[in-house]
Chains A and B, each alone.
Chain A
Amino acid sequence: MRSWYAPAYRTACLVLNDASGAEEAVQEAFLRMWRFRDAMPEGEAARPWLYRVVVNSCYSWARKQWSTDGRRAPSDSLAHLAEASPGPDEIAVIGDRASAVRAALARLPEALRVPVVLRYYAGLSEKEIALAIHRRPGTVKSRLHEARRLLSADAALSEFAAPEEGTR
């Protein structure tokens, strides 16, 4: 149980940028998986299906936060998490690459954050992401492209990436 808990939990953390929220979301996700285990597809489709449940649980958690904290627009349900994240100046003080990535992710719109996390952390292919977030592969591709563009342009990340680019 512990071995499969970790990747799901960390994916939820990157999506929500909130450890306690991720814990709740993943717990809910596994309860859902158990409840709907009969519907779990076989073979290669199983992995995106599981991540889909995790992502849906993240959305549910974010929606609950919206419902509890105030009257924010549902489409912007994860946006307020970005507002709470540290800014570039704070990141520079911390000097932590992981924090910089998390902050850059938190500044991404929700529609871009989820596919990019699934791609680069969970290691899903574009096709699997399309299944996981119920979008067409073309949409996933364009969102990943846009997310990469925004992340590359993010001041916090470019600080870490620039020296590596220069060495190539």
Chain B
Amino acid sequence: MITDDEFEALFHEAGGDFAVPTRGPDEILAAAAPPARDGSVVRGRFRPRQLALAGTSVAAVVALTVALLTSSGGSPAPLAALGPRHAIANTSTASTSGTNYFASIFSGGATKASTAPSLAAPARDIIATGTLKLGLSRAQLRGDVARLEALAASFGGYVSAADIVETGSRLGGTIVVKVPAGSFSSFITKAEKIARVRSLTTSDTDVTGEVVDLGAQLTALDDERSQLEVLLGRAGKISELLSVENEIESVQSQIQQIQGEQRTIATQVDYSALTVNLLVPKAPHVSSPPNGFGHALHEAVSSFVNGVKALVAHLGDVLFGVLSFVVVALILFGLWRSVWPWVRRRIA
């Protein structure tokens, strides 16, 4: 088994065996040069898109260098031409060029803050979310929901989802408020004052890497589509044409998918979501009057039972009368049977 040290030695030997082209960095600069006026095409493997990007970056590096050189005595070179997104901070403390900045990172992993004060602060893509639990009284619910909506609107936000329950003893709900990321903490501070806070949790997710990845994928797919479009122009047969068109369609679909993902992430980054749980204490249980078919059935059964009971009660009365009559009749009959012979003997 080869040890780690041996691997490192072997790999450095193998890597060092590749002669670094001295024209490599120069080629980037050369690629950015304006095309010849005689209309000839710039030779090489650089495509127009790459040329444009190379031009932008090299122009930025040159402008930065000029700015640094002139910062001690003259005014900094104007960088506004690069556009707002690519503008570089013109700080008087600038001492390191962009190229040295990359160099320091590759050579020793030095931090950005210490080596690149002249570059603009990096924009991080953060998705901020939070959950706020508010304890309310039953009477406050509707009013507090309205207040939260108004508060969100005042920050340029909106209620993206609401689920308010107001049935029987159940009362409460959840609303999701989205506010501009810059106002998220201010919004939470004000929302906390609306009712008693039971709990508050917030979290930040850094999606910078995903954004970069998506951008890189998009660039690669754009390039691939450009190549396919060139191939489409060269296709001679119908089958070739259809095949290239299918490829373009597939690449286009991937591009649209990535653009969709970018839009989704951008929305999530731009608008922070706060889930507000509205907690209302349970009301004492009050049985509600029954209604509907069940109630009718229940009433019918009750009436039937009551009717049977009434019938039995009335039958009992009748039976008692009959039985009393029978008993009296039997007594009278007994008396008549015992007295009648005596009466007959007396008469006789």
Contact B57 A34 (CB under 8 A): yes
**Can you list 21 A-B contacts (CB < 8 A)?**
A3-B103, A7-B107, A9-B24, A10-B18, A10-B20, A14-B14, A22-B18, A27-B24, A33-B102, A34-B57, A37-B119, A43-B112, A43-B113, A44-B109, A47-B109, A67-B224, A67-B228, A96-B17, A98-B14, A121-B14, A161-B6
Contact B2 A10 (CB under 8 A): no
Question: Size of chain B's interface in residues, with CB distance under 8 A?
Answer: 63
Give chain A nearest CB distance to B94 CB in angstroms: 15
Q: Which residues in window 17-62 of B have CB below 8 A to A?
A: 17-18, 20-22, 24-25, 27-28, 31, 45, 50, 53-54, 56-57, 60
Given contacts A56-B213, A152-B2, contact A101 B228 (CB under 8 A): no
Q: Residues of A contacting B98 with CB < 8 Å?
A: 34, 37
Q: Residues of A contacting B228 with CB < 8 Å?
A: 67
Give chain B nearest CB distance to A13 CB in angstroms: 4
Given contacts A4-B99, A42-B112, contact A31 B54 (CB under 8 A): yes
Contact B123 A39 (CB under 8 A): yes
Look across to chain B and name the residue whose beta carbon is closest to the beta carbon of A131: B209
Q: Residues of A contacting B227 with CB < 8 Å?
A: 64, 67-68
Q: Which residues in window 100-129 of A have CB below 8 A to B?
A: 101-102, 105, 116-117, 119-121, 123
Contact A42 B24 (CB under 8 A): no
Give chain B nearest CB distance to A105 CB in angstroms: 7
Q: Residues of A contacting B215 with CB < 8 Å?
A: 32, 35-36
Q: Residues of A contacting B109 with CB < 8 Å?
A: 44, 46-47
Contact A43 B111 (CB under 8 A): yes
Given contacts A23-B21, A35-B215, A98-B16, contact A50 B6 (CB under 8 A): no
Give chain A nearest CB distance to B20 CB in angstroms: 5
Over the window 44-67 of chain A, the binary record of Cβ atoms lying under 8 Å from chain B Cβ atoms (1 yes, 0 no) is 101101101100110110011001
Over the window 99-126 of chain B, the binary record of Cβ atoms lying under 8 Å from chain A Cβ atoms (1 yes, 0 no) is 1001111110101110000011011110
Q: Is A138 an interface residue (CB 8 A)?
A: no
Contact A38 B11 (CB under 8 A): no
Contact A1 B123 (CB under 8 A): no
Contact B106 A28 (CB under 8 A): no
Given A98-B17, A148-B1, 12 more A-B residue pairs with CB atoms under 8 Å apart are A8-B106, A10-B16, A22-B18, A23-B27, A27-B31, A28-B50, A32-B216, A101-B11, A116-B7, A119-B7, A152-B2, A165-B2
| A-B contacts, CB under 8 A, total | 197
Q: Residues of A contacting B24 with CB < 8 Å?
A: 2, 5, 9, 23, 26-27
Give chain B nearest CB distance to A138 CB in angstroms: 19
Q: Residues of B contacting A13 with CB < 8 Å?
A: 15, 18
Question: Size of chain A's interface in residues, with CB distance under 8 A?
Answer: 74
A36 to B209, CA, bound (A): 10
Q: Residues of B contacting A95 with CB < 8 Å?
A: none
A4 to B306, CA, bound (A): 99
Q: Is B208 an interface residue (CB 8 A)?
A: yes
Q: Residues of A contacting B208 with CB < 8 Å?
A: 39, 41
Selected from A23, A64, A151, the residue in CB contact (under 8 A) with B2 is A151
Look across to chain A and name the residue whose beta carbon is closest to the beta carbon of B1: A152
